[in-house]
Structure 1
Amino acid sequence: MTTALVLGAAGGIGRAVVDRFARDGIGIVAVDRNPAVLRLPHVAAAFEGDATDAGLLAEAFDAAPEPPSVLVHALLWERRAPLAELTAEVWHRALDVGLVSAWQAAAELVRRKAEGPASVVLVGSVHAHGAAPGSAPYAVAKAGLGALARAPATEWGGLGVRTNVVEPGFVAVDRNAHRWQDPAEADRVRAAYPLGRLCTPEEIAEVVAFLAGPSSSYVNGVCLPVDGGALAVLPEVHVPGPADRRV
């Protein structure tokens, strides 16, 4: 049986990944700071705590029914502030949670893996490709995941380990519910995406499942935007008008 370690398992995308993996019969070890992780169905073991803690991470690996061959890192930490007002503590925390913990968990998977292929899927963001005021540490952490994926693709490919990044656009999850539950704001967000609708966490989970499984067996070291075409749009046509829609 395939076993997966999911970090950030109680969040919107992480929870959708747990549900998707469960449908495939994958054994799941779930980790999250949110105590809701302890109430998740379909998991072999669950741990409430900070995934930057190497001791907790070791406990999670030890609890797996067999050495995990899949790792999903769906963690983030964000505190918004203008660049000039940020503190070193904010930068360190954002990078430790969003980037360093991904390396730490992936390295542990490689140290413990059994024979055969393994897959590391890192949940990034389109923020890796553009800036939003006040979100610099978050964006830097997400951009760093691309470089992080390329390094193990080079070093661990010979071990059968694939490492890839999923880069969602705006996803309707609890942490941004204040935006998509506001009709005017939801319309504004939808207008920025060529598909004209919001993404669901389940749609991201489908891409994670693809990259984690054998259907993507020759995909390694890539960043895959799942953004409804947002990165394809030039700034001057960011919100299409009637004339644009006729083209």
Structure 2
Amino acid sequence: MEFQNKRILVTGAGQGIGRAIVERLCTQYEEVQVIALSKTLSNLELLKHKYPQIQIVQVDLQDWESTRREVSKLGPVDILINNAGVAILQPFLDIDENSFNSVFDINVKAVINISQVVAKCMIQHNIQGAAIVNVSSVASKAALTHHTVYCASKAALDSVTRSMALELGPHNIRVNSVQPTVVMTQMGQMAWSDPSKSGPVLSKIPLGRFSKPEEVVDVILYLAGPKSSMVHGVHIPVDGGFLI
């Protein structure tokens, strides 16, 4: 019942954690209205075929004006889950401007852009139980090899989350972030299947494994729902103890 009659916008919904969020909402909760946003139309069409009740939106989040235009068309939503993200991994000495811009465009600028549009509409329509959840990473707090730009973007996202919480809280809009470690989505399995790569990271996780997508979804939906009604401006790691 916690999401009954709620309109929930999920970005980066075509695959990975975003897709897992949409699937959970569509299969476990009744009368929830899910809006799935992604850059890749084929992924959205596959999702729509499986869950005909969802609304799909195709947009390139690096295009500021197109994103504002498409999100504005959606009208009021109760919950925004800023899940879209990108990682371009390069050694520090090889970082180039295009890669830097691409990562920050999606991981930081797009969150600000979409959240501005959505929050203004939430305020205008006096949405009750409004919540925004940003999907960050433990990389916001821990240095990872070849992840300089990604780490910086997620640290920036956590800072944006705190500022959003400070300014949107008086409008009864809760804002929090989730910080997963490596998540064993299909992409995660491909990227971290090599023991020589995963071993050093796993050795720092007391629970001895990476996160499952559903474990991250559990925390995201907790922060999005009424059971966290007094949780505001925080970052919750889903990392098996990596950060300790």
Category of TM-score, reference length = shorter chain:
0.7 to 0.9
The structure 2 residue matched to 1:55, chosen from 63, 66, 73, is 66
> Which residue of the partner structure matches residue 6 of structure 1?
10
> Which residue of the partner structure matches residue 36 of structure 2?
30
Distance 1:141 1:178, change over 3 A: same
User: What is the deviation of 1:198?
Assistant: 2.5
Could you tell which deviates more after superposition, 211-220 or 29-38?
Answer: 29-38
Q: Deviations over 1:176-221 (max 9, x none)?
A: 2234444665565543321122211111001000000000011111
> Which residue of the partner structure matches residue 44 of structure 1?
54
Please give the TM-score of this superposition, normalised by the length of structure 1.
Answer: 0.86
**For residues 205-244 of structure 1, what are the structure 2 equivalents within 5 Å?**
205-232=217-244
Structure 2 contact 140–154 (Cα < 8 Å) conserved: yes
- Give the SS at the match of 2:101: helix
Q: Deviations over 1:10-69 (max 9, x none)?
A: 121111111222222321111112321222133531123312333244324524xx6111
- Give the SS at the match of 1:72: strand
> Which residue of the partner structure matches residue 238 of structure 1?
none
The structure 2 residue matched to 1:21, chosen from 11, 21, 25, is 25
> Which residue of the partner structure matches residue 158 of structure 1?
170
Distance 1:82 1:191, change over 3 A: closer
Query: Structure 2: 5+ residue runs without aligned partners?
Result: none
Distance 1:96 1:2, change over 3 A: same
AA of the residue aligned to 1:37? L
> Which residue of the partner structure matches residue 106 of structure 2?
97
Distance 1:81 1:188, change over 3 A: closer
Please give the TM-score of this superposition, normalised by the length of structure 2.
Answer: 0.87
**Structure 2 Cα separation of the partners of residues 210 and 77 of structure 1:** 24
User: RMSD of the TM alignment (CA)?
Assistant: 1.9
Structure 1 contact 72–121 (Cα < 8 Å) conserved: yes
AA of the residue aligned to 1:27? Q
> Which residue of the partner structure matches residue 79 of structure 2?
70
> Which residue of the partner structure matches residue 242 of structure 1?
none
Structure 2 contact 71–118 (Cα < 8 Å) conserved: no
Structure 1 contact 118–160 (Cα < 8 Å) conserved: yes
Q: What percentage of aligned pairs have identical amino acids?
A: 29
**Structure 1 Cα separation of the partners of residues 210 and 149 of structure 2:** 25
**Structure 2 Cα separation of the partners of residues 29 and 61 of structure 1:** 13
AA of the residue aligned to 1:18? V
Query: Structure 1: 5+ residue runs without aligned partners?
Result: 233-247
Structure 1 contact 38–48 (Cα < 8 Å) conserved: no
Q: Is residue 2:178 matched to residue 1:146?
A: no
Structure 1 contact 149–163 (Cα < 8 Å) conserved: yes
AA of the residue aligned to 1:29? I
Structure 1 contact 2–27 (Cα < 8 Å) conserved: yes
**Structure 1 Cα separation of the partners of residues 72 and 117 of structure 2:** 8
If you compute each CA radius of gyration, which structure gives the higher value, 1 or 2?
A: 1
- Give the SS at the match of 2:243: helix
